[in-house]
Amino acid sequence: MKLCILDNDTLDPAVEPTYKSYGAMTERLLRDAGATGQIDLFNTMQGHYPESFDAYDAVLLTGSKADSFSQEPWVLALRQKVEQLLQAKKKLIGICFGHQLIALCLGARVGRAPQGWGAGRMDYQWLAPELPEAQGRCDIALLASHQDQVFDLPEGARLLATSEFCPVAAFAVEDRVFCVQPHPEFVVDYSAYLLNKRRSSLGEDKYQSCTQSLAKGHDGAAVARLMVAFIEGQALPA
């Protein structure tokens, strides 16, 4: 397996020594899920990309504090790269910002969610028939941190996960695209840091309920195993 991770953010100085980057957190997640082979990280905010994507089995786009619909030069450059990768039928995985940007490039509407922040541990209905190690459940829980959402399922895409708060929570396009809105790579301590950072904007009631939700666990490892299988060429559950 040879994977390119396009890292679309930098972490706050308070947590960077521990978590390094979203790309590093994602690599750890995939390694823990059994990924072997080469994983290369490039920071798109700094204009870093591989000379060619041809040798990679897949390209993964991380989350970001930026808006996928931003007119910032680095975001526009990334969108152009993703459009080219889609045209070339390169296998793509998107997480949060990456999920939104890929959906945008596929023609879906993306914007600020009127219901506000999705934060903490959130529950989703899983629509595919099997999630590894979910023991037959048709629901999953993942850690989230987003104020933007994908409003439409891209044309030709299959909805994989949904909730009342986030109707397009995960989708796939054939065996080429796999995107999820929440963050399977997050760990509880990092989610707690983000909640504390946004405590005033969330409001005290939401902050308390989201913080308490973190103790219930999440299914990030199960989604990671799906991602590894997807990169390795196995079909997603249909």
Q: Which residues are catalytic?
A: 96, 183, 185
Report how far residue 116's alpha carbon sits from residue 149's, in angstroms, rounded to the nearest whole number.
Answer: 10
Burial class (CB in 10 A: 0-12, 13-18, 19+), 119: buried
Partners of 69 in the β-ladder: none
- Which residue, among 45, 40, 6, 20, has the nearest Cα to 187 in the 3D structure? 20
Closest alpha carbon to 222 in 173, 177, 170, 174: 170
